[in-house]
Structure 1
Amino acid sequence: MRALVVYESMFGNTEEIARAIGEGLGTDEILPVDHAPRDLAGYDLLVVGAPTHVHGLSRPSTRKAAADQGSGSTRTGEPGVREWLGGFTVLPPALDTAVFDTRIGKPRWLTGSAARSAQKILSGLGHAPAAPAESFLVEGDGTETKLVAGETERAREWAAGLRLRRRASRA
């Protein structure tokens, strides 16, 4: 199985989860969205992740606000996941997809979910997810966040389960 993990990360939390997912999938094809390919031919699985901003995927204005709130630099640049996914009109038919996000550890109805927003875009391209959207939680004081203890390991396990489900569905 050839898997690609594409992520958007402002402060490094989503990147850390993406790398753990890559480990769980057994792939080293883990790319920031600003370096992600436009041609996905040859991939069997696409996993996309982003931080939750204002209840969904980031926009240029929310990425700028995040950069201004932090040290002024972010891990990924333009485009964000919303724009990258929005640039596709079709995806390879055999491509399986899965999505994840990072968000503050409060009820989803309060925080929203970037993963659910990404899942809607992928579904609109005719790709139902291979697994339900997954959120990995962060905590912080508003200006600095860190992953909740155990989330990196949970990401590895989620990805390993995704790999097993995909293998079983292809058998």
Structure 2
Amino acid sequence: MNVLMITESYFGNTRRAAEAIRVGLQSRDATVTIGDAATGPALTGVDLLILGAPTHNMGLPKPASRRQAHEKGGQASTTGVAELLEALPGDLVCRVAVFDTVTGTGFFAGSAAKAIEKRLRRRSVTVIARTSFLVTSTQGPLADGEVDRAEQWGASLA
């Protein structure tokens, strides 16, 4: 199975979750490439596309929240998963899974993964799995047990 995982990460938390997901997928003999949403890797020959982003202001990062993350010491980026979703081909034929990193859970926490899935559904793309990984604060790290859970989730996708 050829897997392409595209992430957006400012403090490394979403990228760390992606790396753990990769370990889980590779344990099931998947070939995994991780790319940055800002560069928009090609989707040629992909069996499974995984999209991951941090939750900013209850949803996907936007230019204003990206600037805020940068002002707090995060990596700078002008584009991310939201813009990548707009550029996806209309005839996307691979399976898709989505994840995010969140600092809290519950109704008022919001979810970038839920926003990604909603945008994909508008394009008639079915998401086969969605999950969130908890971080201890904006700067992280991932909460206890989340790296192991990410590995398990990755293995389950293969």
TM superposition score normalised by structure 2: 0.91
Q: Counterpart in 2 of 1:111?
A: 109
Cα distance in 1, alignment partners of residues 108 and 20 from structure 2: 26
1:1-171 to 2 correspondences below 5 Å? 1-26=1-26, 27-37=31-41, 39-70=42-73, 73-74=74-75, 77-93=77-93, 95-107=94-106, 109-131=107-129, 133-140=130-137, 144-163=139-158
Q: Is the 8 Å Cα contact of residues 62 and 82 (structure 2) preserved in structure 1? A: yes
Q: Secondary structure at the match of 2:99?
A: strand
Q: Is the 8 Å Cα contact of residues 41 and 92 (structure 1) preserved in structure 2? A: no
Q: Is the 8 Å Cα contact of residues 59 and 82 (structure 1) preserved in structure 2? A: yes
Q: CA RMSD in A?
A: 1.5
Higher helix residue share: 1
Structure 1 residue runs of 4+, over 4 Å off? none
Unaligned runs of 5+ in 2: none
Cα distance in 2, alignment partners of residues 155 and 54 from structure 1: 23
Q: Secondary structure at the match of 1:112?
A: coil
Q: C-alpha offsets along residues 66-85 of structure 1, whole Å, 9 cap, x if unaligned? A: 11022xx41x6232100111
Unaligned runs of 5+ in 1: 164-171
Q: Is the 8 Å Cα contact of residues 56 and 114 (structure 1) preserved in structure 2? A: yes
Q: Secondary structure at the match of 1:19?
A: helix
Q: Secondary structure at the match of 2:132?
A: strand
How many pairs are equivalent?
154
Give 1:10 deviation, angstroms: 0.7
Higher relative contact order, structure no. (Cα contacts within 8 Å, ≥ 6 residues apart): 2
Q: C-alpha offsets along residues 30-77 of structure 1, whole Å, 9 cap, x if unaligned? A: 11112332x31310100000000011000011000111022xx41x62
TM superposition score normalised by structure 1: 0.84
Q: C-alpha offsets along residues 69-111 of structure 1, whole Å, 9 cap, x if unaligned? A: 22xx41x623210011111241432x0000000001331x111
